[in-house]
Structures are given as C-alpha cells and as structure tokens.
Amino acid sequence: MVPVGIRGEYSMRSEQEILNTLLKNYDMRVRPPPVNTSTEGAVNVRVNIMIRMLSKIDVVNMEYSIQLTFREEWTDPRLAYEHLGFYNPPAFLTVPHVKKSLWIPDTFFPTEKAAHRHLIDMENMFLRIHPDGKVLYSSRISLTSSCPMRLQLYPLDYQSCNFDMVSYAHTMNDIMYEWDPVKPVQVKPGVGSDLPNFVLENITTNTDCTSHTNTGSYGCLRMNLLLKRQFSYYLVQLYAPTTMIVIVSWVSFWIDLHSTAGRVALGVTTLLTMTTMQSAINAKLPPVSYVKVVDVWLGACQAFVFGALLEYAFVSYQDSARQNDRAREKAARKAQKRREKLEMVDAEVYQPPCTCHTFEARETFRDKLRRYFTKPDYLPAKIDFYARFVVPLAFLAFNIIYWVSCLIMSANASTPESLV
C-alpha cells in the first residue's frame, strides 16, 4: 500500500508522465481521427454556453455586450490514456496552458465586433483530458456583438439577437457542431432581469445557420436572444409629457379670442416644447428609413399642438374680417343718422335720448360658465366653442386606434420567427 504523502506525489508524477507520453508524438496541426463513421469522418464538437453577463444593449450602434463561459467537447483518440497501463490513472487530466500543444477547434463568432479573454490573475481557461480521449475545453470570454435591430415598433418592440459559432477553416466534412443535449445554454441567476431598458424573454438554439461560401459549407450553431424593451420608462418619460403638452395647448380654446398675446404665446411655447422633445428622442435612435410607431405618436402630438395654433390664426382672421365689416356698417349707419338729423333740424328742435337710467350689469360666475358652454352666434367664437370638444374627442379616438394597433403588432412580433 502506498502511503498517503507519497500517493499525492505519485499522482502528480503519474499525470506528468501520462501527459508527456500523450504529447510525445502528438501533432496539433492534424485534426483528430474519426471515432466512428456516422459523420463520415468529421469531428463531433459538442458546445455548451453559460451566460454570465449581458449588458450595454446599444440601439444607436446596434450591438450588445456579453460575457460567457464557452465550452467545447470532442473526442481525440490520440489523447486516450486508459490503455497505456499506468497505475491508478486519474479520472481526468486538467491542463491549463497547453493550447499551443493540442488541437482545438478553430471556432469563431461571425457577429463579434470586439472580444477579449480574461487574464486576471491567470488566463481563465482550462482543458480536461479524460481516459477515453474525450476533451473538454472551457474559456471565459467577453464580446461586443452586433445585433441588427428593427425599430418599427419602438418603444414597444422585441429584438432578436443572434450569436453564431462557426469553424473558420474546417468544412462540415471535418467538423460538425452540435449543442449539448442536456443543457445547451445556461444563464447565471439575475442575468437579463437587471438590464436598464430590456428584459431577456427567451433563448433558443434550434435555428439552422450553416454557412455556405465559395470555399465550402461550414457547420454553424446559433443562439438566439429574444429581448423585450421595458415600456414603463417610455410611459413616464415620453408618452405622459407629450400628452400633457397636447392638453395644455387646448387651453387656448378657452381663452378669450381677443387675448392675442396669451393665445399666441401659449401656442408657440407648446409647439417649441414638442419640437424639442421630438429632437431629444430621435437623438437616442439611429437614423432609419422607415417610420416607427413613436414617430407616429410624436407626429400626431405635434399636429394637434400646431393645429391649436392654426385654429387661433383662423379665428383671429375671421374676427378681424367681421370687425372690419361691422366698422363699415357702423360708419354707414352714422352717416345715415347724420343725414336724418340734418333733415329733422329744419322741422323741430332735436332732443337727444335720455341715458340717465342706463347701467351695466356685473357678470356673475354662473353667467361666465353659461357663456363658455353655450353655443354663441358669432362665427369666430363658435369655432372656439366647437374646438373645445371636437379636438379632445379626436385625440381620444387617435389614442384608441394607436394603442390597439400597437398592442396587436407587438403581440405578433413577440416570436423570433416574426423578427427574421
């Protein structure tokens, strides 16, 4: 029986001897020979991913950052040591720094913009060799990956981001990729739920992404991340303020039509505020050639605000035209009365009418309410009267059509197939 102290030293020495024996005639430039003929000689590479972090989903640059543990497993018969006759061989050999000594699949990520491995305080990777030649390679990497986004339903949109893995040099005759049948993708608790603007809704791995080029067909695996934008932020920061601006513009309909300074100032202020908000919102989005649902909302709100200003311009024009007509009619009546007075002077002495008992009655609050809610006969005031009720009802109808349409389109776009 080998003593305990000597057993550990013997185990370490045994691992060194096994590794030296395996690498003695090993050629890392040649891919492993086939284990069986089921794949016509290709090496089966089984992939498993653990998502550690998902952050910085950038809509303007259409990219996202992800940190993951990337694992690949394959069988290399040249590394099998169960038949070498070593005493009590280990269950597996952990080899941290032999990437330059062993064959490893040349997997790359087509959607990657920038990436790096973690080297603190040692390189975060390991490679395990099992007695039957099965090899497990694991590495922690961080990537910035592209994600072409469709923003037609912004901010009620779903985004589908693909993360592909392809062999760079080996065609499907040499390497075949497959997902781990038990757990292809693992997600660290909390990942996807703490994003500022999105929620990770679902992860799928059943999409075919085989790459066909003029140099051959390359095996590919695809992980699809379905992201749902959180609407609460936009409800508070976008929809509520713009709705209030539209409602404030309606105050112009209740102001006396002769209060030109107040009504013009209110209309211009609300219009400029609406334009500023629209510019600030569009500055956070990439310039796209299609219309987004947020553009429909902002355009409609701006149209209602601008319409309130145009309504007063039309009312003021109608009032001025009628005032001029009244002035001409009044001047004509005065001239007619003057002629009648001159004719009466010759017949009798003229006595002006008595005004000693006339007085001006004070308008009560009830009279003011009755005046506001009673349809006037004067056309400019009648336009204001109708605008007080027609414009809010039109905005309410627009809201019903807008939100029903958005909810229907958002529900139809909640699957990855609809985003392809």
Task: Give the tens place of pLDDT for each residue, 345-370.
Answer: 555 554 555 554 444 556 676 666 66
Q: What distance in Å separates the CA atoms of residue 335 and residue 344, rounded to the nearest whole number?
A: 14
Report the pLDDT value the prediction gives residue 401, as an integer from 0 to 100: 96
Fold of the domain spanning 233-320+365-418:
Methane Monooxygenase Hydroxylase; Chain G, domain 1 (1.20.58)
Pairwise pLDDT comparison (97 vs 305), residue with the higher score: 305
pLDDT band of 260, cuts 50, 70, 90: confident
Please write the tens of the pLDDT for every residue from 42-73. Answer: 899 999 999 999 988 989 899 999 999 999 99
CB 322 within 8 A of CB 281: no
Q: Are 147 and 64 in contact (CB under 8 A)?
A: yes
Mean pLDDT of 18-25: 83
The percent of residues in the chain predicted with pLDDT above 70, rounded, is: 82
Q: Which long-range contacts (CB under 8 A, 24 or more apart) does 95-98 make?
A: 95/19, 95/126, 95/127, 95/128, 95/129, 96/122, 96/123, 96/125, 96/126, 96/127, 97/123, 98/23, 98/127
Helix, strand or coil, per DSSP, at residue 132: coil
Show me where the domains of the chain are located.
Answer: 8-229, 233-320+365-418
Any residues with CB less than 8 A from the CB of 326 and at least 6 apart, and which? Answer: none
Q: Kindly give, in sequence order, each residue whose CB lies less than 8 Å from that of residue 225, ignoring residues fewer than 6 positions away.
A: 54, 160, 161, 162, 163, 200, 203
pLDDT at 12 over 70: no
Q: Which residues make beta-bridge pairs with 216?
A: 213
Tokens 């309606």 found at: 250
Structure tokens at 23: 């690498």
User: How far is 366 from 376, CA to CA, in rounded Å?
Assistant: 16
pLDDT, tens only, 166-200: 999 898 989 999 999 989 999 998 887 778 888 89
Q: Give the CATH number of domain 8-229.
A: 2.70.170.10
> What three-state secondary structure class fits 243?
helix
CA gap 137, 116 in Å, rounded: 17
Coil, helix or strand at residue 175: strand
Element (H or E) spanning 129, and its range?
Answer: strand 125-129
Q: Phi then psi for 133, rounded to 5 degrees?
A: 95, 0
Mean pLDDT of the 243-255 span:
91
Decide: residue 285, CB within 10 A, 0-12 exposed, 13-18 middle, 19+ buried. Answer: middle
pLDDT given at position 9? 45
C-alpha to C-alpha distances, 309 to 274, 320, 356, nearest whole angstrom = 13, 17, 45
* pLDDT for 302 beyond 90: yes
**For 29-38, how does the pLDDT look when each residue is reduced to its tens digit (9 = 90+)?**
888 887 765 4
Average pLDDT, the chain: 83
